[in-house]
Structure 1
Amino acid sequence: MDSLHLVHIKLLATGLLTLTPRHTSPPSFVRCGRTVARAEVVGVVVSRDHMEKFLRFLVDDGTGCVPCVLWLNHQYLNANSSSDSDPTGEMASKMSEVVRLGTLLRVRGRIVMYRGAIQIAPRDVVLEEDPNVEVLHWLQCVHMAKECYDLPLPSA
């Protein structure tokens, strides 16, 4: 199995939203022939919709908006989800407190497909206080794509 499947790869919204879904269990996606299941994005919260069971928000990184859905009550999580990729209800509640309109966040989590649209189910939501973090993330995304993500797979 491709090693990218095991890590949160740094992506810009344009790269994340154009991944090709692969119908496997657990769900995964393909980028340049490589399997991807987890991602990290950095951007500003431009939309926030708090419901009883979940918090839906959009993170804008300047190249597009990434939909994120943070489940707030652990009992509503998909029974097929692994515990290492989904926060408990208490952790999710604490993370939801930093999701405010206009805040700069780093979001890491599973890439999921819901109603034909790609979104992130966050494992970590971190408030970033240094505005330079966003530009640094862009540079890291470009560098990692060139050096790791978009390289041809080695022949077996």
Structure 2
Amino acid sequence: MPSDGDGAEDTVPSMLWGLDPLHGVFAKLYIKDILQLDNSQHVPGVFFYKTHPISKVDILGTIVQKREREKLFSFGVDDGTGVISCVLWKKRRPMEGPKPVASPTIGLNLQEQLSRITMLEQHTSQLELGDTVQVRGWLRDYRDQREISCTSLSKVADPVFTAQISRMLQLPHLYRTFYDQTFQLTTDSTEPNDQRVRILSLQRKIKQFLNQNGVKNFYQQELETINSLAFIAQQDPVSPCVQHPPQPSQVTDEDKELRSLTLGVIRDDSRRPKYVDKGCPFLHILSCVQHGYSAGVNEATMQRVLDRLESDSQIVSTMERYYMAS
């Protein structure tokens, strides 16, 4: 597998990754480059092409492998530079029962919606070897193999290779103009360039302190009592270190209690009739953890825990921000 992207991560703090336009889009990359992306050492589900953090991709290629399992379709897609596995999860439907009667005032026909889902699955199952498809989805490593968890997978009617030629012309321009350019933070007169250096220095010091002291959770106010950390923060003329009221508890990847509680919530609640079809929604999991562990667990922390559980194959995402136990 690719090496860890610690060098790339040190270039820009993770809190500023969102400023890179490539972090929030479906990046169009060659498959060979997707397979060689560096893993983020600290944030599961994020990968690096040079200095750019990437979590979602868009590819165009030919189906060269096809498998259907109980819960998913798996396609091997080849763009001429490499082959990558693309996983499309089936939408779980409730058991057959009395047909719902459409209400003329509401206008929602549940039977019609189920029929549409069935048609979409049938369309996906009819994809054959040799079909050209466009795939969009989230990158992940599963059992040491790079794959795409699809948010969309559609057949491209391209008898004269128009789409493939267009992609071949587009990709070199994207690489030259964006991907191969180093991502740099812009600065102005109110934010001197050396402030970024202090932010990076403080970030490294905090990581070092947490690792050396085996800290599993903490309050922001507690970090402000550490002289070596406070000294760096006080050097910042824009955001001086001041005393704050206690902030919500933060956690680290070593907090096994939080991971265990989160996994228990997903295992138990994904069996409930309310969640058996799609899995547990993110906000439900967050609410349960906040009640059972700490009200200080925020969305970013919860997402990090879920990504870690998924990378360890303990849970799977059935659709965006819905989870169930493996």
User: Is TM more than 0.5 here?
Assistant: yes
Q: Is the 8 A contact 1:46 1:58 kept in 2?
A: yes
**Could you tell me how far apart the structure 1 residues matched to 2:166 and 2:81 are?**
14
1:71–1:151: structure 2 CA closer, same or farther, 3 Å change rule? same
C-alpha distance 32-125 of structure 1, shift in aligned 2 (>3 A)? same
Gap change, CA 1:24 and 1:99, over 3 Å in 2: farther
Say whether the 8 Å CA contact 1:103–1:127 is kept in structure 2.
yes
1:146 equivalent to 2:176? Answer yes
- Paired residues for 1:103-122 under 5 Å: 103-122=131-150
Partner of 2:53: 35
Give the structure with higher Rg (CA).
2
Q: Number of residues paired by the alignment?
A: 143
Letter in 2 for 1:27: G
Shift of 1:59: 0.6
Q: Secondary structure at the match of 1:48?
A: strand
How far apart are the structure 2 equivalents of 1:4 and 1:72?
29
TM-score by length of 1: 0.82
Matches of 1:102 and 1:45, distance apart in 2: 5
Distance across 2 between alignment mates of 1:46 and 1:93 = 19
1-structure distance, mates of 2:126, 2:26: 21
5+ long unaligned stretches in structure 1: 76-89
Structure 2: runs of 5 or more not aligned:
1-17, 94-116, 187-326
- The 10-residue stretch of structure 1 (94-103 or 123-132) with the greater mean CA deviation from structure 2: 94-103
- 2:155 maps to a residue whose letter is L
Q: Does 1:62 align with 2:90?
A: no
Q: Identity of counterpart residues, as a percentage?
A: 27
TM-score of the aligned structures, taking structure 2 as reference length: 0.41
Structure with the bigger RCO (C-alpha within 8 Å, sep 6+) is 1
Alignment of 1:132 with 2:132, yes or no, is no
CA RMSD of aligned residues (A): 2.2
**Given the superposition, is the C-alpha separation of residues 28 and 126 from structure 1 closer, same or farther in structure 2, using an over 3 Å criterion?**
same
